[in-house]
């Protein structure tokens, strides 16, 4: 709102945090420094801006950017965003929908504040039930239209997207912090304008312009993360080598080379890095670097006029792609696919491409998901890629709060019998793989020391040990008395598909277990629930793996069905007691026997019961 003197003042909301200078926190910037040290980050906070620059029509966008640059060169910090629809300000041939909200918004700040020490992890973030705005049938029809356009020579690639929507009643800042933990190491920003809140945890750099050097890092090419270290590396290698993914990346690199040449010194545009795979928690992404020396006299407006919108979220050629985007996508993209960034004192400008970005207006949350479509892109594969990309919001289709909304620890459960830890090396190896996947620091000597202390304190008897590792790499271990294992257990079949079977929170063992707890047994005397995925394939139980005797062989589902790589399961596969094979729910009437298997309890013969009896 505006005060009597015309200055801008934020509306204070419950749960908003004060900064050391007494102002209300409105903006957070946590950007990777894209050059040099991979661990260096720009991590700063800002209170209410001293001035706000807003463009609501295309004619106002350029003047806003001119003012941003002038104020930054005077020593101010300018933090804000451009909507995708601001493209019309730079070229009238760029086709866009009319949208809601400002085309450009920047807060001007006299100084940056330290990153706030107060943690919002304790703030409750309610469940968010995302609703897709596009059916599979409509997706398939639009894929056919894109392929026709490519076949007719109208374009080479099109970045096709659709929105997700949800109701949200909670603290936007706490939600941002949770999303940032689920999607670390990129270009994250939280901006509260009073009118809307932008929660961007994008992994993609749009451009970094410092001095006479400008760097763009388009992100094109996606693959899921693997269930094991070997599978993970194989998926990364496949992403780097599959012709479809490489072609998609090269098309956009060529487009951005051409865009950069509009502001570059002659013959200075180069591609120092091509087909680089980056490990994110839920997917592998492929990036390439395009850089140039900027001509004298180039302004921030000139840079945006040359590059915006980023070719990675339009397609090529850009004008034709954007025209088809407007035909296929029924509404404005908004901040999603625009640009979110900071211009530092002196003029150093860094902007992300706001993918993996949630926008809040009132209680409505919006997030876009999309992918680049080329001639050889298949509808099934692209639909699956969309599913992998939206995983940063939470596993499968469960509410966001079930995955990203709280900090989690890595977990291993071991048996400690008379001072000896069963399968300790295997458990540590599995935890090490999980730490590498989630980016947790790993010090094996520290974990071994932690386990040794616990063993020394529990040298007799049988104990269930919980070994935990937090996001800072600090371990802790707990011991609980362990009762004797039952000779035989009863299992019930899940009443619905386990949607999170392919989630990283099922492939790796962590304290985030809400998706398993939702399938806890409901009938008296039932030991565990047998799960199955959306393809009708048996996966595992909520607390261990499953073995099934079928056609005279003991089988266990392969990891690709979506399950934890259990230590007890791995031991029996190695010893030849089990073989991997897909077993479907439809096969259960032919199953001759079952067993529950894990490292803690060993092999427990099991019966599959009717939960209604």
Per-residue pLDDT tens digits for 266-295: 999 999 999 998 887 778 889 999 999 999
The pTM score is: 0.74
User: Is 220 assigned a catalytic role?
Assistant: yes
Query: Which pLDDT does position 21 carry in this prediction?
Result: 52
**Predicted local distance difference test score (pLDDT) of residue 396:** 39
The region of weakest confidence among 14-28, 76-90, 559-573 is 14-28
Taking the C-alpha atoms of residue 592 and residue 41, their distance in angstroms, rounded to an integer, is: 57
Best CATH choice for the domain 410-481 from the list 3.40.640.10, 3.40.50.11740, 3.40.1010.10, 3.30.470.10:
3.30.470.10
Assigned CATH class of 27-207+301-402: alpha beta
CATH number belonging to the domain at 488-609, selected among 3.20.10.10, 3.30.200.20, 3.30.360.10, 3.10.180.10: 3.20.10.10
Percent of the chain's residues with pLDDT above 70: 91
What are the residue ranges of CATH 3.30.470.10 in the chain?
410-481
Element (H, E) at 321: helix 318-328
Question: What is the structure's pLDDT at 16?
Answer: 46
- Asked if the model's pLDDT at residue 404 lies above 80, the reply is no
Q: Which of 196, 204, 412, 537 is catalytic?
A: 204
Query: Using one digit for the tens of pLDDT, what is the confidence trace for 459-481?
Result: 999 999 999 999 889 999 999 99
Which part of the chain is CATH 3.20.10.10?
A: 488-609
Q: Are 307 and 324 in contact (CB under 8 A)?
A: no
Task: Find the mean pLDDT for residues 562-577.
Answer: 95
Q: pLDDT-based confidence at 94, cuts 50/70/90?
A: very high
State the first-to-last Cα distance of the chain, in angstroms, to the nearest integer: 62
- Judged against a pLDDT cut of 90, whether residue 97 lies above it is answered with yes
Active-site position among 177, 181, 220, 318: 220
- Of residues 37 and 586, more confidence is placed in 586
Q: Residue 446: its pLDDT value, please?
A: 93
Other Cβ atoms less than 10 A from the Cβ of 380: the count is 10
The Cβ of residue 242 has, within 10 Å, a number of other Cβ atoms equal to: 15
Collapse the DSSP code of 576 into the 3-class scheme (helix H, G, I; strand E, B; otherwise coil) and give the result.
coil
Task: Report the pLDDT averaged over residues 572-592.
Answer: 96
Q: Which residue has the higher pLDDT, 306 or 132?
A: 306
Cis peptide before 512 (omega within 30 of 0): no
Average pLDDT over residues 126-151: 91
Q: Is 389 known to be catalytic?
A: no
Buried-exposed string 351-367: b where 16+ CB fall within 10 A, e elsewhere:
bbbbbbbbbbeeeebbb
């Amino acid at each position: 709102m505006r005060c009597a003197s015309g200055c801008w003042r934020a509306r204070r909301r419950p749960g908003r945090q004060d900064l050391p200078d007494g102002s209300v926190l409105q903006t957070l910037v946590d950007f990777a420094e894209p050059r040099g040290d991979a661990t260096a980050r720009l991590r700063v906070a800002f209170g209410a801006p001293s001035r706000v620059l807003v463009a609501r029509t295309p004619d106002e966008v350029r003047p806003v950017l001119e003012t941003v640059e002038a104020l930054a060169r005077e020593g101010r910090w300018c933090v804000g965003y451009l909507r995708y629809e601001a493209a019309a300000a730079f070229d009238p041939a760029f086709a866009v929908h009319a949208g809601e909200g400002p085309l450009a918004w920047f807060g001007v700040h006299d100084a940056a504040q330290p990153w706030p020490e107060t943690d919002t992890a304790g703030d409750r973030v309610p469940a968010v039930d995302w609703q897709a705005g596009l059916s599979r049938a409509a997706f398939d029809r639009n894929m056919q239209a894109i392929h026709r356009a490519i076949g007719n020579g109208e374009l080479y690639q099109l970045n096709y997207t659709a929105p997700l929507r949800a109701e949200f009643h909670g603290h936007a800042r706490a939600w941002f912090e949770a999303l940032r933990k689920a999607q670390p190491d990129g270009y994250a920003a939280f901006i509260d304008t009073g009118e809307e809140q932008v929660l961007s945890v994008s992994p993609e750099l749009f451009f970094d312009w410092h001095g006479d050097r400008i760097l763009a890092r388009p992100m094109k090419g996606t693959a899921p993360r693997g269930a094991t270290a070997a599978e993970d590396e194989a998926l990364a290698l496949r992403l780097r080598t599959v012709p479809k993914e490489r072609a998609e990346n090269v098309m956009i690199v060529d487009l951005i080379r051409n865009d950069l040449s509009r502001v570059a010194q002659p013959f200075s545009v180069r591609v120092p890095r091509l087909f680089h795979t980056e490990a994110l928690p839920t997917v592998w992404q492929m990036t390439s670097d395009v850089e140039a020396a900027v001509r004298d006299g180039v302004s921030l407006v000139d840079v945006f006029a040359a590059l915006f919108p980023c070719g990675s979220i339009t397609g090529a050629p850009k004008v034709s792609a954007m025209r088809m985007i407007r035909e296929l996508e029924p509404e404005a993209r908004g901040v999603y696919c625009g640009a979110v960034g900071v211009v530092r004192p002196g003029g150093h400008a860094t902007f992300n491409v706001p993918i993996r970005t949630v926008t809040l207006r009132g209680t409505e949350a919006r997030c876009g998901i999309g992918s680049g479509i080329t001639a050889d892109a298949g509808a099934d594969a692209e639909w699956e890629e969309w599913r992998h990309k939206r995983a940063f919001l939470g596993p499968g289709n469960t509410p966001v709060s079930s995955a990203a909304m709280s900090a989690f620890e890595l977990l291993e459960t071991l048996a400690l019998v008379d001072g000896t830890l069963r399968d300790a090396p295997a458990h540590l190896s599995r935890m090490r793989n999980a730490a590498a996947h989630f980016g947790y620091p790993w010090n094996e000597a520290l974990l071994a020391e932690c386990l040794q202390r616990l063993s020394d304190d529990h040298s007799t008897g049988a104990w269930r040990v919980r070994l935990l590792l937090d996001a800072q790499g600090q371990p802790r271990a707990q011991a609980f008395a362990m009762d004797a294992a039952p000779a035989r257990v009863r299992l019930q079949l899940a009443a619905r598909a386990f949607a999170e079977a392919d989630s990283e929170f099922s492939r790796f063992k962590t304290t985030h277990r809400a998706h398993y707890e939702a399938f806890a047994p409901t009938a008296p005397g039932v030991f565990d629930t047998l799960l199955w995925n959306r393809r009708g394939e048996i996966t595992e139980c909520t607390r261990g793996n499953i073995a099934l005797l079928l056609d005279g062989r003991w089988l266990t589902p392969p990891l690709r069905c979506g399950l934890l790589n259990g230590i007890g399961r791995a031991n029996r596969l190695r010893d030849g007691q089990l073989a991997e094979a897909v077993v479907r729910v439809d096969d259960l009437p032919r199953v001759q026997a079952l067993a529950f298997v894990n490292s803690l309890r060993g092999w427990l013969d099991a019966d599959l019961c009717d939960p209604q009896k």
